[in-house]
Structure 1
Amino acid sequence: MNSLALINEFLGQPPNASSHGYQIDHILEFCHWFMAALFIGWSTFFIFVLIRFRKRRQPTADYHGVTGPISTHLEFSVVLIEAVLLLGFAIPLWAKRVNQFPPGKEALLVHVVAQQFSFNYHLPGPDGKFGRRDVSFVSNSNPVGLDPSDPAGKDDIVTTGELHVPVNRPVIAELSSKDVIHDYFVPAMRIGGDAIPGSLIPIWFTPLKTGTYEVICAQLCGLGHYGMKGTLVVDTPQDYEAWLKERAELAGGAQPASSPGAPQQPQNKLPQAAGKPEQQPAQPAQSPGQL
């Protein structure tokens, strides 16, 4: 077991599944080994002082203290290491995450709308355009408030609790909230961000491993906070296209030729069977916290 895996297991973190996660893990590893060295060093020094300057050996107090340079050198070394950790690792990584977003054409854009006590996901349909949203349209069957009169929203995909994304493709999640402050946190992706009412806060990550990962709210948001969890499913490109097709059918929209934002590929359209009624849009399950 390498040191990163050891630190992750000690902290209770799942294995990293994103492209940038190893940088987060390296900082955590360095911080914990550094803190361990400080703890052992200062504890050893404290025990030495207790023994060396015990009352029996030195009954009279020495008011001059340490006269050598060793104390100054140790304190300067600690400050220097902390400065290198902050300026050389933490700030550059933070700046990269907030300033260097992937190009919009390459990334999958999804709106995450939090509420007590669930996460709603809004993706564009085959046209690649988000439908207009307004709080006046929010209801149990319309959790993100899509405007029913907006043609761009007819084929949009809305899910609650579960989001599917393709592997090895950047994902930009724009966070917002309908009620109180939440925090969208995906431990395996080493990513998280506050969802604040009235704000649209973007975060991004690139998943590297297919699988199912837990999504949690990391901000105390009410009595049901403990149960505010969801699922992030990282699919192969083929499985993701199948999921998009399924969601488009449930929404009553057109069949997507490819995922939103990806290059379009020709697709043969099959005529609808005569006399077969059109599939009715599925009603989303009632969201917790909605009246």
Structure 2
Amino acid sequence: MGELLGLPIQASEHAPEIDEMIVLIHWLMAVLFVGWGTFYVYTLIRFRASANPKADYTGVTSHTSSYLEIGVAVIEAVLLIGFAVPAWAHRVNDIPPEEEATVVNVIGKQFEWISHYPGPDGRWGRRDISLITPTNNIGLDRSDPNGADDIVSINQLNLPINKPVIVNLSSQDVIHSFGIAEMRVKQDAVPGLQIPVWWVPNVLGQFEVNCSQLCGLGHYRMRGFVTIMEQDEYDAWLEEEASFLTGN
């Protein structure tokens, strides 16, 4: 079924779980489609005008249709309570400890994704809206000792493989939607909110980051890339970028 649906490759630990849910829901939709379609065809034939030339003011006295509607409602409730709510709690709310994860701030802005890393010291530099300029698009205070080695990149997100990632997602202007299809990751970026989204990438390579929410005339070109690399390669990249920033 997954191949029939044309799902992209699975590049995160939770991707198989998401795909299983997608396949299950499509099978249930297929059953509902056949069931309701059969019922509609039966209704059209059973109550056609040629077979019922005289109106029957009593109508249908059977409660079969009511039972069917109740059955569908029960199935949908089971899906919601038994699958959707636990899946949401596991996938969204069970955020791993920051000490065990790679933490990055990602800011959506018309029409780019800005990645902000705390640098090798693991401390975030101060940000202030008054410091925003064409060359400092997140208002990072480089005079703050904690911000001297902070790394900022545009439309490029580098992450180590097989390690939890926590992206603190926000927006500077309008609602955007951070999406990586291969990793089954999607979360709206809302102005005024910082929303954590986490996953564990498990496939090396480069993948596209899309904006899945219409955000203006340049929405079509709001895309970035996430590169998954080995841990030692990621550490070397952090050190190289920090050395360039601090002049060491």
> What does residue 164 of structure 2 align with?
170
Gapped regions of structure 2 (runs ≥ 5): none
CA distance in 2, matches of 1:68, 1:117: 58
CA contact (8 A) 2:209 2:223 kept: yes
Shift of 1:227: 0.7
Shift of 1:161: 0.5
Equivalent runs, 1:37-48 vs 2, <5 Å: 37-48=31-42
- 1:134 maps onto 2:133 in alignment: no
> What does residue 237 of structure 2 align with?
243
CA distance in 1, matches of 2:238, 2:15: 27
CA distance in 2, matches of 1:69, 1:57: 22
CA distance in 1, matches of 2:79, 2:239: 47
> What does residue 207 of structure 1 align with?
201
The two structures, once aligned, show a CA RMSD in angstroms of: 1.8
134-143 or 152-161, larger mean C-alpha shift = 134-143
CA contact (8 A) 1:5 1:15 kept: no
CA distance in 1, matches of 2:162, 2:3: 22
Instruction: Give the TM-score of the pair, scaled to structure 1.
Output: 0.80
> What does residue 183 of structure 2 align with?
189
> What does residue 217 of structure 2 align with?
223
Shift of 1:68: 3.3
The verdict on how the C-alpha distance between 1:56 and 1:180 changes in structure 2, with shifts beyond 3 A counting, is: closer
Match among 3, 26, 35 for residue 5 of structure 1: 3
CA contact (8 A) 2:120 2:239 kept: no
Instruction: Give the TM-score of the pair, scaled to structure 2.
Output: 0.92
Shift of 1:39: 1.4
CA distance in 2, matches of 1:86, 1:253: 54
206-215 or 135-144, larger mean C-alpha shift = 135-144
CA contact (8 A) 1:183 1:219 kept: yes
Match among 49, 58, 83 for residue 77 of structure 2: 83
Structure (1 or 2) with the greater helix fraction: 2
CA distance in 2, matches of 1:72, 1:80: 12
The verdict on how the C-alpha distance between 1:206 and 1:253 changes in structure 2, with shifts beyond 3 A counting, is: farther
- 1:29 maps onto 2:27 in alignment: no
> What does residue 117 of structure 1 align with?
111
CA contact (8 A) 2:120 2:238 kept: no
For 1:136, the aligned partner's letter is S
For 1:147, the aligned partner's letter is D
Shift of 1:192: 1.9
SS at match of 2:42: helix
CA distance in 2, matches of 1:27, 1:67: 38
